[in-house]
A = this chain, B = another copy of it.
Amino acid sequence: MAADPDDGGPTGAQRSDEPDPGHLPDVDELVVDGQERPSDRVPLSRERILSTALHSIDEEGLAALTMRRLGARLGVEAMSLYRYVPGREALLDGVVDALVGELDHDADVLRSPEHGWQDFLQRMAHGVRRMAIAHPKAFPLIASTPPEAPWLRPPLRSISWVETFLSGLVQQGFSDEEAVAAYRAFTSFLLGNLLLEVSQRGGAVGPLDLVDEEEPVGGLDDAPIVRRLARRLGEDRALQEFEESLESLIDRISAQVLGGSGA
């Protein structure tokens, strides 16, 4: 946890009001300019490590997240982390889990489809989008980490999520085949749209995000059309794009379901 509100001494054991790794409380509590006072004796824990790692990525980007720096942020030497996390790779996997876990705290997302599957897909899509936008620099991690199983397609990298998705559709009358097809189409839609949105918002980048804003269009001498459309291409249409694309995806699934067997 970034810094969970309890500095619970060794006595209290784990208190269940402690927010879990996914759901982050307000940024910066206890953590003063990136480093705790050594006198704080909040004990290390996997949760605290993962959530601090996520905060760190949010603030400084992926490249700046180092075992040693993360240790410093936690007021500890790097080697201590290995007691809770097997290594850097595993740390990043944990961050992905923490990210995905945030969705479980989004009231809108995991409810079953009571207003039809179209509404269900809308809610899920927008839930994932909120998560992506909340963590633009961490989101690419979700896409580039290996897909340990074929049924975990980015960005839906949580079994419980996938279960909710598939069972929701089946429950709405989709055949197995239709549900799987919808799942595939839905994931690539989300991945493409959100990755692009997030990278446009200045994610992905390393520590060199000092982009001169309104640069005067360089290197476009051999690209007259691009130059003509440059201003239009620069407009932020991310939300509209997302909604139109989602609408179209839903239409497509709809046609498939109606044209085939049921619903």
Give A residues with C-beta under 8 Å from B. 89, 140, 143-147, 149-151, 153-154, 159-160, 162-163, 166-167, 170, 176-177, 179-180, 183-185, 187-193, 195-196, 199-200, 202, 204-206, 208-209, 215, 219-220, 222-226, 228-230, 232-234, 237, 241, 244-245, 248, 252
Contact = CB atoms under 8 A, between A and B. Distances in A.
B199 A193 contact: no
Contact of A151 (B163, B170, B230): B230
A5 to B, nearest CB: 14
State the 8 A-B residue pairs at the shortest beta-carbon distance, nearest first: A192-B192, A188-B192, A163-B223, A151-B233, A191-B192, A150-B234, A146-B205, A167-B225
Of A140, A146, A206, A215, chain B has the most CB atoms within 10 Å of the CB of A146
Given A159-B220, A225-B166, A245-B188, A143 B146 contact: no
A208 B90 CA distance: 12
Task: Name the residue in A151, A185, A188, A232 with the highest tally of chain B Cβ atoms < 10 Å from its Cβ.
Answer: A188
B151 A226 contact: yes
Contacts of A190: 192
Given A146-B205, A187-B196, 7 more contacts: A151-B234, A154-B195, A159-B222, A160-B222, A160-B223, A185-B245, A189-B192
